[in-house]
């Protein structure tokens, strides 16, 4: 089993959840509660091993802590993964068993949707736990969080366009979007409405066909590497993590990378490779915070206008990070990390461990 202490300093808690009757095998990772209870989605994915699932949960929970801090939320960072094929293994008994584990943490961890889980799944989990967001509108929730995730990514793109080309618009720019099932599908609407062009790819033919029906003017390429090598102004990874690696970055032709996927950098050092190539990278946990903002607003009685107004601030925060990166001579991801770490350190100084209870 993956060593926890030492390899992942700063993480507060790692919880293994198993229910033999339903087949549940899940892991909940809490990175930080310095700013408040840890909020983060539940990913349902057929991991090749328990170690791979643990690594994903830990990495994603750290990103959530930084994301909440940069978004100005009084929340910490957590993430959960359920090991299995959601199309085959997802059942009501399994989700309810998982909900009981979430409830056992007494609010230290608040769950929401992620890859492989949807708002109706949150309604099932909520039958066993009070600490659930991203619920359906019919159940008083915020609904699909990919709506404001895409809106926030678009704001990040505008800030990057301004930093690179002098004006906060994608008009006349060619944007490549990898993954159009959730966030990427909504992002296309923003790009086209702003006067940009969109090129897409997705492993799901159904997802591609759905976009073609809505936007016949969108170009389609065969796979992600074809998109990476395409003549683009902006590359937007919106599927699973690790999209930026030692193979893709040297072949990337876009001047800006700004997308909705989590953990886009395959390993430390990729941010320097991007900088050395003159590619402006918008840290994913900075620009994709709109979904977190949307589900966090649900904790206070959801108001879409209020949540959208907060997500619009991603434009200004991205500007701040890009300016700091230039001033300090570091990649934007380093500047974003420093900003998030300062906020967590300032808020958490002298504060006891968050033990649970209602979100503040």
| Annotated binding-site ranges for NAD(+) | 179-184
Asked if 319 contacts 163 with a C-beta cutoff of 8 angstroms, the reply is yes
**Tokens 């699909």 belong to residue:** 144
Q: Where are the alpha helices (DSSP H) in 166-223?
A: 183-193, 205-214
The catalytic residue among 67, 79, 272, 308 is 79
Q: Residues 197-202: contacts with CB within 8 Å, 24+ apart?
A: 197/173, 199/174, 199/175, 199/227, 199/230, 199/232, 200/176, 200/227, 201/176, 201/177, 201/226, 201/227, 202/178, 202/239
Q: What angle do CA 245, 64, 247 make, to 5 degrees?
A: 5
Asked if 226 contacts 203 with a C-beta cutoff of 8 angstroms, the reply is no
79 catalytic per annotation: yes
Asked if 31 contacts 56 with a C-beta cutoff of 8 angstroms, the reply is no
Distance, CA of 16 to chain centre: 22
Query: What are 28's strand-pairing partners?
Result: 15, 80
Q: Sort strands 13-19 and 24-32 into parallel, antiparallel or unpaired.
A: antiparallel
Residue 45: both structure tokens together: 């994915």
Give the residue numbers marked as catalytic: 79
């Amino acid at each position: 089993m993956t060593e926890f202490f030492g390899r992942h300093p700063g993480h507060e808690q790692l919880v293994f959840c198993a229910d033999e009757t339903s087949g549940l095998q899940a892991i909940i990772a809490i990175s930080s509660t310095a700013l408040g209870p840890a909020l983060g989605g539940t990913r349902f994915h057929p991991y090749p091993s328990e170690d791979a699932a643990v690594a994903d949960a830990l990495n994603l929970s750290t990103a959530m802590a930084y994301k909440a801090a940069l978004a100005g939320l009084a929340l910490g960072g957590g993430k959960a993964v359920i090991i299995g094929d959601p199309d085959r293994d997802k059942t009501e008994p399994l989700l309810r068993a998982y909900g009981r584990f979430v409830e056992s943490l007494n609010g230290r961890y608040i769950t929401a949707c992620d890859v492989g889980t949807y708002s109706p799944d949150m309604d099932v989990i909520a039958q066993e736990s009070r600490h659930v967001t991203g619920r359906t509108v019919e159940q008083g929730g915020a609904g699909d969080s990919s709506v404001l995730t895409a809106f926030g990514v678009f704001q990040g793109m505008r800030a990057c366009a301004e930093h690179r080309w002098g004006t906060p618009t994608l008009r006349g720019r060619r944007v490549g979007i990898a993954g159009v099932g959730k966030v990427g599908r909504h992002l296309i609407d923003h790009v086209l409405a702003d006067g940009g062009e969109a090129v897409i790819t997705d492993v799901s033919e159904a997802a591609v066909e759905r976009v073609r029906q809505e936007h016949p003017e969108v170009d389609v390429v065969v796979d992600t590497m074809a998109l990476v090598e395409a003549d683009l102004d902006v590359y937007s990874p919106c599927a699973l993590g690790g999209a930026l690696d030692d193979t893709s970055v040297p072949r990337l032709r876009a001047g800006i990378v700004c997308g909705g996927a989590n953990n886009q950098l395959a390993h430390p050092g990729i941010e320097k490779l991007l900088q050395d190539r003159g590619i402006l990278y918008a840290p994913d946990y900075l620009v994709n915070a709109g979904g977190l903002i949307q589900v966090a607003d649900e904790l206070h009685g959801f108001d879409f206008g209020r949540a959208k107004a907060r997500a619009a601030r991603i434009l200004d925060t991205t500007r701040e990070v890009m300016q700091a990166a230039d001033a300090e001579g570091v990649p934007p991801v380093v500047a974003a990390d420093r900003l998030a770490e300062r906020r967590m350190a300032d808020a958490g100084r002298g504060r006891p461990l968050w033990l649970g209870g209602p979100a503040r």
